[in-house]
A and B are shown apart, each in its own frame.
Chain A
């Protein structure tokens, strides 16, 4: 992984908070109402192919583990709404052969307000 790629921003995509998909999520976790707090992972995973295929970053996804995850909400997601998804590479640190990448994903509503910020730390383990 290339630490110099830190700060890179990817083209924005969108997330529609599809009620059927939300219902499937609720069913997995036996939640009875609302949009589960970890549903935003859907947006993070939709961006992932771009990141995995980015030659500038050079991430070896076969060695990646999920180290840490954070969600911060300004308001709950509403079923049916469409939000812009802005993803950037936060910090990249290399420690003892392992590389730690923080992906920052923001969901932005049509008024331009950030609804949720997700921070995901991916650990690229040292090659054998």
Chain B
């Protein structure tokens, strides 16, 4: 577990990647309650103007939250999390969550982390989540 007095500023969190599969997105829809067909039905997604089914923004944000939780030592350490959804994620793509410690308040035991999720598509880096920010509780 990182401790407030030891975390360098700035420093990078470990990257966490996963491949987005229709099975995982369906499992997320069942657990989270968002059954919008945009995330499961190919024909519906095309009619809505996308080249294929896209993952829920909250699927991508859940992955980002998991990366922060693994670094900090549990989800209860995340005090605030904010994300801007900037690009869709398609089935079969690999999403990569990353973060950078921007500030540490040693007395309060809180780190402020800038965080994001990227995907490499057609030789370019896209940002499904950009300018995310988290406040995470650290050990003293």
Q: Does B76 contact A (CB under 8 A)?
A: yes
Range class of the A interface residue count: 20 to 34
Stretch at the interface among A4-12, A36-44, A83-91: A36-44
Chain B 110-135 interface mask (CB, 8 Å, partner A; 1/0): 00000000000000000000000000
Cβ of A67: which chain B residues have Cβ within 8 Å of it?
84-85
Is the CB–CB distance between A34 and B31 below 8 Å? no
Contact B27 A27 (CB under 8 A): yes
CB of B58 within 8 A of CB of A38, answer yes
CA of A76 to CA of B62, assembled, Å? 16
**Which of B33, B79, B82, B85 contacts A65, CB < 8 Å?**
B85
B positions within 8 Å CB-CB of A: 18, 24, 27-28, 30-34, 48, 56-59, 61-63, 65-66, 68-70, 74-76, 78-85
| Minimal beta-carbon separation of B109 from chain A (angstroms) | 15
Among A29, A45, A66, A71, chain B packs the most CB atoms within 10 A around the CB of: A29
Count A/B pairs, Cβ under 8 Å: 93
Whether the pair A36, B65 counts as a contact (CB closer than 8 A) is yes
Q: Which of A45-75 contact B (CB under 8 A)?
A: 45-46, 62, 65-73
Chain A 1-40, CB within 8 Å of chain B: the 1/0 string?
0000000000000000000010011011111011111100
- With most chain A CB atoms within 10 A of its CB, the pick from B33, B59, B62, B75 is B75
- Contact status B66-A36, CB under 8 Å: yes
Beta-carbon contact of A34 and B30 below 8 Å: no
- Name the A residues within 8 Å of B80 (CB-CB): 70-73
